[in-house]
Amino acid sequence: MTAIGSGISLRGIDHEDFSYPFNLEASIVAADVGKPVTLDGSAANTVKLAGDTDVIVGQLRTVEDRTIEGVLVGTVLTKGFFQFAVDSATTIAVGLSVTGSAVANEIKAAVAANETSVVVESSAGLATVWLK
């Protein structure tokens, strides 16, 4: 949290109008809420946890295990300012784009700029990322 007099922080500002339901990849559990996700190319309308170089499409907000119906679903917030853990082997600076990392549930600087994400704040293993 930013102390009084430390300026502006955009951390945690999100746009609830951009919350969408998705099918979830089978290994996702409630403990994964808050982690970065990417589209899962193996099934329509499905997301999985972001892996190495995956484009981040949002942050997982809810997980609903509807085993009785044979599905695992959740909500993904696709627009706003989200805080994600940073791969300790990489440096993320303000203004860089990000992707998923080889380290589970973390992000790293993208090799090339992308139109979907930009770092607005970075400190102590965490980065605030604007997903547009």
* Sequence ranges of the domains in the chain: 16-77, 80-131
Report whether pLDDT(1) > 80: no
The pLDDT, as a whole number, for residue 86 is 92
Mean pLDDT of 2-29: 77
pLDDT of residue 13: 67
Instruction: Compute the distance between CA of residue 84 and CA of residue 107 in angstroms, rounded to an integer.
Output: 7
Please report, for residues 12, 45, 51, 62, 72, the alpha-carbon distance to residue 130 in angstroms, rounded to integers and kept in the order given. Answer: 10, 23, 19, 20, 27
In this predicted structure, what is the pLDDT of residue 3? 54
pTM value? 0.84
Q: What mean pLDDT is predicted for residues 43-59?
A: 94
Residue 12: what pLDDT? 63
Q: Are strands 19-24 and 71-77 parallel, antiparallel or unpaired?
A: antiparallel
Share of the chain above pLDDT 90, in %: 48
pLDDT of residue 62: 96
pLDDT digits (tens, 9 = 90+) for 54-103: 999 999 999 999 888 888 999 999 998 889 999 888 888 898 899 999 98
